[in-house]
């Protein structure tokens, strides 16, 4: 091979290399430029969007201030977190704000797990109707979002004309980011209309002595509606939910056993002079 041919081949290789280098450099530069242009397009779109936002900042600020004012008013709030202690404390706070007292049994109805957004509680007891009405009114209208899922009231008869038995199934709702219970203050709520004692009997038969304490649960008229944490929930003939635990007294006997695993309770009753077991299963209806 002659020198000139060899040199031509070398030059050809250099030509290829130069061409490849030029192509690569131009491609890289184009890629860089395109990337910068894409970036600019996105940035311009963002700028347009932000400028649009800035143009509406005054109206947005006004709306925001209104919302802040609304939040400040705390018309209705969902708690950030709830527990039986929080709900029970809140109920006591309500009664303190009402400057009255309602005696009730308090129990957690069911343990909610996973994505639950509320806890359910049962209140049961006897009180003056006016107090009960005010309590329900406050629960429904105060700032904290609680819902009364079930409410039963039963007259206690002529002997306690101004007293009623009641039970209430209550749900305390909560949501992520909600306020703490301690941040929630009292809201001025119009008192309930209590001028008329709705459950007071005006005419009744002559009072006869009771064989058993009428306040005790009559097992034969009651339904077992739930068992939770060793407590059994019964609904009596008036629809009032009674909360009993092992050893609680009932008409003619006591609650002997609460079997949560099979949903069954056993009473020891001595209605006819002989103690016998009375089994009751959870009413599935």
Window 69 to 88, contacts with another protein (CB under 8 A):
69-73, 75-78
Tokens 């009405």 belong to residue: 133
12 lies in the site for another protein, by CB under 8 A = yes
159 lies in the site for another protein, by CB under 8 A = no
Instruction: Please give the residues from 110 up to 129 whose contact with another protein meets the rule CB under 8 A.
Output: 117-118
Residue 162 DSSP code:
T
Using the minimum distance from each CB to another protein, give the nearer residue, 69 or 262. Answer: 69
Within the chain, strands assigned E span 105-110, 118-128, 146-155, 163-173, 223-228, 231-235, 241-245, 249-250, 253-259, 264-269, 276-281
Shortest distance (Å) from residue 276 CB to another protein: 30
Using the minimum distance from each CB to another protein, give the nearer residue, 151 or 278. Answer: 151
Candidates 84, 89, 185, 247; binder of another protein (CB under 8 A) is 185
Q: Contact at 8 Å (CB) between 170 and 123?
A: yes
136 lies in the site for another protein, by CB under 8 A = yes
Shortest distance (Å) from residue 82 CB to another protein: 13
Report the SS3 class of residue 44: helix
2 lies in the site for another protein, by CB under 8 A = yes
Using the minimum distance from each CB to another protein, give the nearer residue, 47 or 270. Answer: 47
Half-sphere exposure of 40 (CA within 13 A, CB side): 6
Indicate the Cα dihedral angle 260, 264, 270, 271, nearest 10°: 130
Candidates 82, 120, 125, 199; binder of another protein (CB under 8 A) is 199
Instruction: Please give the residues from 228 up to 267 whose contact with another protein meets the rule CB under 8 A.
Output: 238-240
- Other beta carbons within 10 angstroms of residue 90's beta carbon come to 18
State how far the Cα of 118 lies from the Cα of 39, in Å rounded to an integer. Answer: 47
Candidates 83, 108, 112, 155; binder of another protein (CB under 8 A) is 155
Using the minimum distance from each CB to another protein, give the nearer residue, 160 or 254. Answer: 160
203 lies in the site for another protein, by CB under 8 A = yes
160 lies in the site for another protein, by CB under 8 A = no
Q: Contact at 8 Å (CB) between 148 and 136?
A: yes
Residue 275 DSSP code:
-
8 lies in the site for another protein, by CB under 8 A = yes
Using the minimum distance from each CB to another protein, give the nearer residue, 96 or 117. Answer: 117
State how far the Cα of 94 lies from the Cα of 221, in Å rounded to an integer. Answer: 34
Report the SS3 class of residue 37: helix
């Amino acid at each position: 091979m002659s020198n000139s041919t060899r040199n031509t081949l070398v030059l050809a290789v250099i030509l290829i290399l130069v061409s490849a280098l030029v192509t690569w450099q131009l491609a890289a530069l184009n890629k860089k430029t395109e990337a910068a242009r894409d970036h600019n397009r996105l940035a311009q779109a963002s700028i347009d969007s932000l400028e649009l936002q800035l143009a509406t900042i005054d109206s947005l600020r006004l709306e925001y201030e209104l919302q802040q004012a609304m939040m400040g008013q705390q018309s209705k709030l969902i708690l950030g977190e709830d527990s039986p202690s929080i709900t029970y404390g809140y109920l006591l706070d309500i009664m303190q704000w009402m400057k009255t007292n309602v005696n009730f049994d308090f129990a957690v109805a069911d343990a909610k797990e996973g994505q639950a957004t509320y806890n359910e509680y049962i209140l049961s007891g006897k009180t003056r109707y006016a107090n009960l009405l005010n309590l329900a009114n406050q629960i429904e209208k105060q700032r904290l979002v609680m819902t009364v899922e079930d409410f039963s009231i039963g007259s206690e008869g002529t002997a306690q004309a101004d007293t009623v038995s009641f039970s209430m199934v209550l749900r305390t709702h909560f949501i992520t980011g909600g306020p703490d219970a301690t941040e929630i203050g009292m809201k001025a709520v119009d008192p309930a209309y209590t001028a008329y004692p709705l459950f007071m009997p005006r005419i009744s038969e002559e009072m006869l002595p009771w064989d058993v304490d009428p306040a005790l649960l009559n097992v034969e008229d009651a339904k077992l509606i739930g068992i939770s944490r060793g407590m059994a929930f019964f609904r009596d003939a008036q629809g009032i939910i009674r909360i009993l635990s092992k050893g609680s007294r009932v008409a003619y006997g006591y609650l002997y056993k609460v079997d949560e695993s099979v949903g069954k309770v056993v009473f020891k009753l001595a209605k006819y002079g002989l103690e016998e077991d009375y089994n009751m299963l959870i009413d599935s209806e």
